[in-house]
Structure 1
Amino acid sequence: MNSEVFSRKLKRLRAGGAARVLDLFSGCGGLSLGLQAAGCSIRAAVEIDRDAARSHGANFHPCDPRHAKARNITTPPEDFAAELGLGPVAEAIDIIVGGPPCQAFARVGRPKLREIDEHPQAFRNDPRARLYQEYLHYVGAYQPLAVLIENVPDVLNHGGQNIAQEICEVLERKGYVCGYTLLNAAFFGVPQMRERMFLIGYRREVTNAVTFPEPSHWMNLPPGYEGSRAVALKVLNGLFQVSHNYTDPPASHDGLSAAVTASEAIGDLPPIDARRLLKEGILRRGARRFDNIIAWDRRRRVSSYAHIMRTWPGFLAPEEGLRDHVIRYLPRDYPLFARLNPGDQYPEAWQRATDMFEERLEKLRRKGQPLQKGSAAYEELRDSIVPPYDATKFPNKWRKMWVDQPARTLMAHLGKDSYSHIHYDSNQARTISVREAARLQSFPDGFLFSGTMNPAFRQIGNAVPPLLAKVLGREILKALKSKERAENVRRRAGT
Structure 2
Amino acid sequence: MKVIDLFAGGGGLSEGFRQAGFEIVAHVEMDKSACNTLKTREAFYYLKRTNNLNNYLRYLKKEITRDELYYMVPKDIMSRVIQAEITIETLPSLRKKIDSILASYDNPKVDLIIGGPPCQAYSTAGKSRDPYNMENDKRNYLYFRYIDFLKYYRPKMFIFENVKGILTSLNGSVFESLKKHLSLAGYNLDYKILNAKDFGVSQSRERVILIGWQKRLNLSYPTFPNVVPSTIKELFNDLPPLQSGESIDGEYAYLKNENISNNFIRPENWRILTQHITRKNNENDLKIYNLAVNTWLCEKRFLKYNELPKDLQTHKNTKSFLDRYKPLKYDDISHTVVAHISKDGHYYIHPDLNQNRSISVREAARLQSFPDDYYFEDSRTAAFKQIGNAVPPLMAFKIANVLFHLLDNN
TM-score range, shorter chain: 0.7 to 0.9
In structure 1, the residue matched to 2:209 is 198
Offset at residue 299 of structure 1 (A) = 4.5
User: Is it true that 1:465 corresponds to 2:370 in the alignment?
Assistant: no
For residues 386 and 357 of structure 2, the distance between their equivalents in structure 1, rounded to whole angstroms, comes to 21
In structure 1, the residue matched to 2:266 is 310
Say if 1:344 and 1:326 are closer, same or farther in 2 by CA, change over 3 A.
farther
For residues 388 and 31 of structure 2, the distance between their equivalents in structure 1, rounded to whole angstroms, comes to 14
For residues 342 and 226 of structure 2, the distance between their equivalents in structure 1, rounded to whole angstroms, comes to 30
Tell me the SS of whatever aligns to 1:31: helix
User: Is it true that 1:439 corresponds to 2:366 in the alignment?
Assistant: yes
Q: What pairs with 1:123-142 in structure 2 (closer than 5 Å)?
A: 127=138, 131-142=142-153
More divergent stretch after superposition (85-94 vs 28-37): 85-94
In structure 2, the residue matched to 1:95 is 112
Post-superposition Cα deviations, 1:272-303, rounded to whole Å, max 9, x if no partner, equal 023xx7xxxxx5xxxxxx99648426443622
Q: What pairs with 1:45-194 in structure 2 (closer than 5 Å)?
A: 45-61=27-43, 63=73, 64=75, 65-74=78-87, 75=90, 76=92, 77-82=94-99, 84=101, 86-87=103-104, 91-102=108-119, 127=138, 131-161=142-172, 163-194=174-205
In structure 2, the residue matched to 1:336 is 288
For residues 90 and 134 of structure 1, the distance between their equivalents in structure 2, rounded to whole angstroms, comes to 25
Post-superposition Cα deviations, 1:238-295, rounded to whole Å, max 9, x if no partner, equal xxxxxxxxxxxxxxxxxxxxx4211111221111023xx7xxxxx5xxxxxx996484
| Number of aligned positions between the proteins | 357
Offset at residue 200 of structure 1 (A) = 0.3
The percent of aligned pairs where both chains have the same amino acid is 32
Query: Normalised by the size of structure 2, how large is the TM-score?
Result: 0.79
For residues 313 and 163 of structure 2, the distance between their equivalents in structure 1, rounded to whole angstroms, comes to 34
Say if 1:61 and 1:142 are closer, same or farther in 2 by CA, change over 3 A.
farther
> Structure 2: which amino acid aligns with 1:264?
E
For residues 467 and 166 of structure 1, the distance between their equivalents in structure 2, rounded to whole angstroms, comes to 30
In structure 1, the residue matched to 2:13 is 31
For residues 70 and 133 of structure 1, the distance between their equivalents in structure 2, rounded to whole angstroms, comes to 19
Say if 1:103 and 1:176 are closer, same or farther in 2 by CA, change over 3 A.
same
2:221 to 210, 213, 221: 210
For residues 291 and 299 of structure 1, the distance between their equivalents in structure 2, rounded to whole angstroms, comes to 12
Offset at residue 140 of structure 1 (A) = 1.2
> Structure 2: which amino acid aligns with 1:36?
R
Tell me the SS of whatever aligns to 1:324: strand
For residues 328 and 205 of structure 2, the distance between their equivalents in structure 1, rounded to whole angstroms, comes to 14
User: Is it true that 1:296 corresponds to 2:253 in the alignment?
Assistant: yes
Tell me the SS of whatever aligns to 1:207: coil
Tell me if structure 2 keeps the 8 A contact 1:346–1:394: no
Tell me if structure 1 keeps the 8 A contact 2:147–2:181: no
Say if 1:345 and 1:70 are closer, same or farther in 2 by CA, change over 3 A.
farther
Q: What pairs with 1:237-256 in structure 2 (closer than 5 Å)?
A: none
Say if 1:128 and 1:264 are closer, same or farther in 2 by CA, change over 3 A.
closer
For residues 391 and 34 of structure 1, the distance between their equivalents in structure 2, rounded to whole angstroms, comes to 42
In structure 2, the residue matched to 1:264 is 234
Offset at residue 476 of structure 1 (A) = 1.4
Offset at residue 127 of structure 1 (A) = 4.9
For residues 150 and 27 of structure 1, the distance between their equivalents in structure 2, rounded to whole angstroms, comes to 12
Q: What pairs with 1:17-28 in structure 2 (closer than 5 Å)?
A: 19-28=1-10
Offset at residue 209 of structure 1 (A) = 1.9
Tell me if structure 1 keeps the 8 A contact 2:235–2:260: yes
Q: Which has the larger radius of gyration?
A: 1
Tell me the SS of whatever aligns to 2:277: coil
Say if 1:438 and 1:105 are closer, same or farther in 2 by CA, change over 3 A.
closer
For residues 266 and 189 of structure 1, the distance between their equivalents in structure 2, rounded to whole angstroms, comes to 15
Gaps of 5+ in 2: 45-72, 124-135
User: Is it true that 1:481 corresponds to 2:397 in the alignment?
Assistant: no
User: Is it true that 1:325 corresponds to 2:281 in the alignment?
Assistant: no
Offset at residue 398 of structure 1 (A) = 1.6
Offset at residue 450 of structure 1 (A) = 0.8
In structure 2, the residue matched to 1:241 is none
Offset at residue 59 of structure 1 (A) = 0.6
In structure 2, the residue matched to 1:396 is 323
For residues 301 and 166 of structure 2, the distance between their equivalents in structure 1, rounded to whole angstroms, comes to 30
Tell me if structure 1 keeps the 8 A contact 2:248–2:276: no
For residues 460 and 102 of structure 1, the distance between their equivalents in structure 2, rounded to whole angstroms, comes to 14
Tell me the SS of whatever aligns to 2:190: strand
More divergent stretch after superposition (322-331 vs 41-50): 322-331
Gaps of 5+ in 1: 1-18, 107-124, 218-258, 278-282, 284-289, 355-381, 487-495
For residues 462 and 473 of structure 1, the distance between their equivalents in structure 2, rounded to whole angstroms, comes to 19
> Structure 1: which amino acid aligns with 2:397?
K
Offset at residue 23 of structure 1 (A) = 0.4
Say if 1:126 and 1:434 are closer, same or farther in 2 by CA, change over 3 A.
closer
Tell me if structure 1 keeps the 8 A contact 2:26–2:80: yes
For residues 145 and 266 of structure 1, the distance between their equivalents in structure 2, rounded to whole angstroms, comes to 40
Q: What pairs with 1:420-439 in structure 2 (closer than 5 Å)?
A: 420-439=347-366
Tell me the SS of whatever aligns to 1:170: helix
